[in-house]
Chain A
Amino acid sequence: MSAELLLSASVMGLLLGGLYASVAIGLSLIFGIIRVINFAHGGFLMMAMYASFWLWYFFQINPYLSIIVVVPLFFFFGYIVQNTLIKPMFVRERALVVEPLGVLLLMAGFDLVLANLALLFFKSDYRAIVSPIASATISLEFIELNVPRFIVLVLSFIITGGLTWLMNYTEIGVAIRAVGQNREAAALCGINVYKIYNITFGLGTAAVALAGAAMVPFYYVNPSMGLPLGVKSFIVVVLGGLGSIPGALLGGLILGIIESITAQFVTSTSAVIFSFLLFIIVLFVRPKGLMGIIEA
């Protein structure tokens, strides 16, 4: 393997990693604060991509412009999902820590509902937009860089930076962190924990919707695309450290690069094995991940 090939594979991996990271950040945020695994994360991504796709299909709205509509829409969608589906489970337990497996199963059911609703209404066709943007490339010396993919990579840094800023420099961010650190103490300080949960879930959903809308120009939309990407997101957040937002970015980039480089040696479908293997190794060697804040 020549150095040039390795370099180009790394760049491709970086682009792929940006995609994984931008999808996984929302999941990591939700896990870090609410401590539930959102199994429907892939389903949310699929829905956001469909929303962006249909906006383009019917109204010729550029996917990047559709962000203005899709992101707030999905913030409220996430807010409502947490408020109507997950909150009752916390209330039932009469404690702020709910059995995580119950919510995981609830969201797995929700994922099945979403994916199969999409299948019922949109059929299993692969859909993609036709736009000059989709095939725009920047020519570097050794590699052709696909612009929409590059935008997603940049976006993954923007989402990370934006959320980190929100968490550190705004009142609501500080409240969210307080709830994530110690719910009881936060509640005693007068923070409405359920409202913070709703907002956090909304933010996580909005983040994945943002990634989804930006993926539409180069990624096929299909009802069954959610679960594989959702599972990939679990790997990313465990690799980076459950609950850490910069960890999710790092985990995504590492995963993308590893998959891209191993794909040089084996078929790209087999290369996915290595990401799962990496996941299991990290779990055994360092269960809290690279930048984890939560002890396993």
Chain B
Amino acid sequence: MNKTNKEILKKFREGEEKFLLGKIAIIFFAIIFLIIPLFVRDPYFLHIFVLVFFFAYLGTAWSLVSMAGQLSLGHAALLGIGGYTSTLMFMEWGITPWLGMIFGAAFSGLVGLIIGYPTFRLKGPYFALTTIAFAEILRIYVENTEIGPFNIPLRAAMGLLVPLKGHAPSVFQFANKEAYYYIIFAMMCGAIFLSYTINRRRMGFYLAAIRSDQDGAEALGINSTKYKLIAMIISCILTAIGGTFYAQYFRYINPERAMGLGMSIEIALVGVIGGWQTVLGPTIGSLLLSPSGELIRAYLGGTYAGLHLFIYGLLLMIVILFLPNGLNDPIIKALKRLNNCLRRYPAKKELDIIKSKS
């Protein structure tokens, strides 16, 4: 980077530092989330929060791909790969899921490379369609395969039950919900931090350039395929780790739920409604969608099956039509406005008025 670029970057970061209220809000929420389990013992309540963090984590991982201007509708496949790899290694060889998680992540990253490399060179909606096709291939294959290659017992549509070991932290099993709560909370914070770091660094600017004008970015010497691939691989690795958490938390994983198109769409919904291509958007989306979806399903699901998905669909349409950057935009804007009011920072117009009066 030459000197002018550094200056631009410095200005960009200065603007960020002035946004004190945003930092306060984030720290406030982090503290609230950290102390919730100390006061709330109701497992169902904690379960809802685990779901919020889980989908926020997946949405953040998913949004890394959309930051490169690509829409993935097959992220459930990567979730399934992560969950199946760690669970199968645990069942067959007794390898702890903490370690299996890493293998699942590596495997998933490789898959991301294989899908991404040929499709990222195409324009238009081809990537989205390929991810759907890939996820469906994997789901149908697992659903119909009792014993896979190398005698791997995939158990077809039945799915895998994680063998119960009681309270055993060494194999990622805990007797209480609080442990899962803190693990997924830490994972979410890690993913958000990673996304934030990527966005602040050179790669974030490259991704922004690629998604707004790929030809223009390439003309400036950015290797668009390379950066899309890096984003894709990081996203795949994170999603696979989420898959291991999913399997260990529910102690059960099946192809229809963990690899199905429904799950892929749910991950994308959280991201798009909150604000795809933004750092905090998926978390905001999950904070809104996951509890409402879970509560509607729990209390009205019997009589009004499908109501929560109907509302999700409606919300998605409203967001796309009126808030193309998701709910993240108005919230951040409102916070910034409040921040500026609180700082009594005279806006340029006001300065001009003061100058003209004096």
Q: A102-B320, A105-B268, A120-B310 are in contact. List 15 more A-B contacts (CB 8 A).
A: A37-B128, A104-B125, A108-B73, A108-B313, A109-B320, A111-B313, A112-B265, A119-B305, A231-B136, A270-B140, A276-B137, A279-B133, A280-B134, A280-B137, A283-B122
Contact residues in A for B136 (Cβ distance below 8 Å): 231, 272, 276
In the complex, what distance in Å separates the CA atom of A95 from the CA atom of B314? 26
Please state if A109 and B316 are interface contacts (CB–CB under 8 Å). Answer: yes
Please state if B320 and A269 are interface contacts (CB–CB under 8 Å). Answer: no
In the complex, what distance in Å separates the CA atom of A154 from the CA atom of B104? 49
Least CB distance from A138 to B in Å reads 33
A223 at interface, CB cutoff 8 A: yes
Least CB distance from B95 to A in Å reads 29
Q: Which of A84-140 contact B (CB under 8 A)?
A: 85, 88-89, 92, 100-102, 104-106, 108-113, 115-117, 119-120, 123-124
Please state if B317 and A109 are interface contacts (CB–CB under 8 Å). Answer: yes
Q: Which of B111-158 contact A (CB under 8 A)?
A: 118-119, 122-126, 128-130, 132-134, 136-137, 140-141, 143-144
Q: Residue-by-residue, is A72-85 near B (CB-CB < 8 Å gives 1, otherwise 0)?
A: 00000000000001
Contact residues in A for B119 (Cβ distance below 8 Å): 283
- What are 8 A-B interface contacts by the 8 Å CB criterion? A85-B317, A105-B268, A109-B320, A116-B310, A120-B307, A123-B305, A242-B124, A277-B137
Using known A-B contacts A113-B317, A296-B123, determine if residue A269 contacts B143 with beta carbons closer than 8 Å: yes
Contact residues in A for B143 (Cβ distance below 8 Å): 269
Please state if B124 and A100 are interface contacts (CB–CB under 8 Å). Answer: yes
Contact residues in A for B130 (Cβ distance below 8 Å): 279-280, 283
A185 at interface, CB cutoff 8 A: no
Using known A-B contacts A105-B272, A120-B306, determine if residue A287 contacts B137 with beta carbons closer than 8 Å: no
A273 at interface, CB cutoff 8 A: yes
Least CB distance from B309 to A in Å reads 5
In the complex, what distance in Å separates the CA atom of A56 from the CA atom of B114? 49
A→B interface (CB under 8 Å)? 37, 85, 88-89, 92, 100-102, 104-106, 108-113, 115-117, 119-120, 123-124, 223, 227, 231, 234-235, 238, 242, 266-267, 269-270, 272-273, 276-277, 279-280, 283-284, 287, 296
Please state if B122 and A287 are interface contacts (CB–CB under 8 Å). Answer: yes
Chain B residue at minimal CB-CB distance from A270: B144
* Contact partner, B71, options A105, A110, A277, A284, Cβ 8 Å: A105
B44 at interface, CB cutoff 8 A: no
In the complex, what distance in Å separates the CA atom of A254 from the CA atom of B171? 49
Q: Which of B142-178 contact A (CB under 8 A)?
A: 143-144
In the complex, what distance in Å separates the CA atom of A101 from the CA atom of B129? 11
Chain A residue at minimal CB-CB distance from B309: A116
Please state if A231 and B314 are interface contacts (CB–CB under 8 Å). Answer: no
In the complex, what distance in Å separates the CA atom of A279 from the CA atom of B307? 33
Contact residues in A for B309 (Cβ distance below 8 Å): 112, 115-116
B→A interface (CB under 8 Å)? 69, 71, 73, 118-119, 122-126, 128-130, 132-134, 136-137, 140-141, 143-144, 261, 265, 268, 272, 304-307, 309-310, 312-317, 320-321, 324
- Number of interchain pairs (Cβ within 8 Å): 123
Chain A residue at minimal CB-CB distance from B305: A119
In the complex, what distance in Å separates the CA atom of A116 from the CA atom of B314? 11
Contact residues in B for A283 (Cβ distance below 8 Å): 118-119, 122, 126, 129-130
Please state if A85 and B321 are interface contacts (CB–CB under 8 Å). Answer: yes
Please state if A238 and B305 are interface contacts (CB–CB under 8 Å). Answer: no
Please state if B313 and A234 are interface contacts (CB–CB under 8 Å). Answer: no
In the complex, what distance in Å separates the CA atom of A111 from the CA atom of B73? 14
Least CB distance from B145 to A in Å reads 8
In the complex, what distance in Å separates the CA atom of A92 from the CA atom of B306? 32
Please state if B129 and A238 are interface contacts (CB–CB under 8 Å). Answer: yes
Contact residues in B for A238 (Cβ distance below 8 Å): 126, 129
Contact residues in A for B268 (Cβ distance below 8 Å): 105, 108
In the complex, what distance in Å separates the CA atom of A115 from the CA atom of B144? 26
Chain B residue at minimal CB-CB distance from A227: B261
In the complex, what distance in Å separates the CA atom of A108 from the CA atom of B125? 13
In the complex, what distance in Å separates the CA atom of A119 from the CA atom of B306? 6
Please state if B133 and A280 are interface contacts (CB–CB under 8 Å). Answer: yes
A-B pairs with lowest CB-CB distance, top 7: A112-B313, A109-B316, A119-B306, A116-B306, A116-B310, A113-B313, A109-B317
